[in-house]
Structure 1
Amino acid sequence: MMVMLRAGALVVPAFALLTACSAMIGVHIGGSLEQPVARFGNDVAKPEKACVNALSVQDVSRPRMAPVWSVQAEGGRCRRLDKVIYGQAPKGFETIVPASPLRAGVRYYVSASGAQRGVMRGVPWMGGGDYIFENGEWHPADPRQPKP
């Protein structure tokens, strides 16, 4: 018995596998200690807009990595943003944890999440990394992370 497959027969299962997963989008930190800026995209040199649901900054040295600032999209609907400035809830976002002053030499974990657009529309994404402010600028705490 011979089994014949149509080309489209594999597309649906492959797409189902893709949508069951989540994607990673880079979150890069730059700017000053007082007002760091989070930008999105997998190429540090070419930030892009991302549909963001939430963004949180956590002090790694605090018990349970306590948040020092956290915002969330109102109604749980992601908003397209090209950047988020620390301490300033973007339009359509609410502050969950008010911003605390940041300190040089302290490691912070920045995380964000949202939903993909385009072909992968609705597929959740997440991203983040550890950053530390030293010598007047933000640096990835992990040398394997791309530099902002």
Structure 2
Amino acid sequence: EQFAEELEDVRWGLFSLNTSRWLLARAWTTDRNVRGNRQGAAQITNWLPRLLADDAVALQLPRYQQQPEDLAEQLPRIERIQAWLHHARNVVDIPELDRLYGELNKLALLANQPITDESLDARMHQAIAVYQNRAWKTLLRL
């Protein structure tokens, strides 16, 4: 109720208008240095696989197979990988990315659950399932 009232406030209209103007003017591209222009011109197919690979390595799934109770600390990284796979998995040329996306969704759900003996066991098995996924192994090799 309070949220609905907030949305009717004038400042949201102003925010929307300013954001729209910022996007239309491509204001994020102004005042870039040469490196920023080069990076901004890079195709997503060139940098996204490397970004996903870096996050896959940093996730350290074997550690969470041994310590599944600590998996929740990696939720931001898991969610970032999920977001990229959800919106751009058709851009990355790695087999079975859809399956990896589904397995990561299961892992994130388990990481959000309260810690019980059953959930720890499920976390461990799901971490193994993700780690053994063909697309995950490909990411780790990039």
Shared fold, TM over 0.5: no
TM-score interval for Structure 1 and Structure 2 normalised by the shorter chain: under 0.3
Taking structure 1 as the reference length, the TM-score comes to 0.24
More helix per residue? 2
* Larger CA Rg, structure 1 vs 2: 2
